[in-house]
Amino acid sequence: MDWNELIAAACMSRIHAYAPYSGFAVGAAVLADNGQLYAGCNVENASYGLGNCAERTAVFNMVAGGGKRIAAMAVIASGDRAVAPCGACRQVLTEFADADTPVMLANLTGQTKLVTIGELLPYAFEKGDLPS
């Protein structure tokens, strides 16, 4: 796993973020089970609920590109500490990753924190939780 490459891909995607309302540009990159990198940035909208986070954009790009599972992910944004995905993104990540899938959280000053999907969202809602 080349974390520098994954963080760089997230950082490059962040440049394209559309964040005129929050001013908080985020980039994310996924290494998929097919060995390909897929990146995403956040895209805001005047109707706030219609925007999309960088993490989900990267995952949706992975699915559109033929990837099935997340092997690893990196997320980067400005701030005083490494940035973590929001709750909605954490739930989407659990759909395409195992609990032990690594996620590198980063900020623009070089701070990083390696966590797992399971650490980000313990007790995630899963397919098995649906009624039969």
pLDDT, tens digit, 9 for 90 and up, residues 17-45 = 999 999 999 999 999 999 999 999 999 99
DSSP states along 12-57: HHHTT-B-TTT---EEEEEEETTS-EEEEE-B--SSGGG-B-HHHH
Q: Going residue by residue through the chain, which has 132 residues, state the pLDDT in tens, using 9 for 90 and above.
A: 799 999 999 999 999 999 999 999 999 999 999 999 999 999 999 999 999 999 999 999 999 999 999 999 999 999 999 999 999 999 999 999 999 999 999 999 999 999 999 999 999 888 777 776
| Positions marked catalytic | 55
Q: Does domain 3-129 have CATH number 3.40.50.10490?
A: no
Distance, CA of 55 to CA of 40 (rounded, Å): 6
Query: What does the pLDDT read at residue 70?
Result: 98
Whole-structure pTM value: 0.94
Query: What does the pLDDT read at residue 2?
Result: 92
Query: What does the pLDDT read at residue 129?
Result: 77
Distance, CA of 105 to CA of 81 (rounded, Å): 9
Give residue 14's Cα distance to chain centre: 11
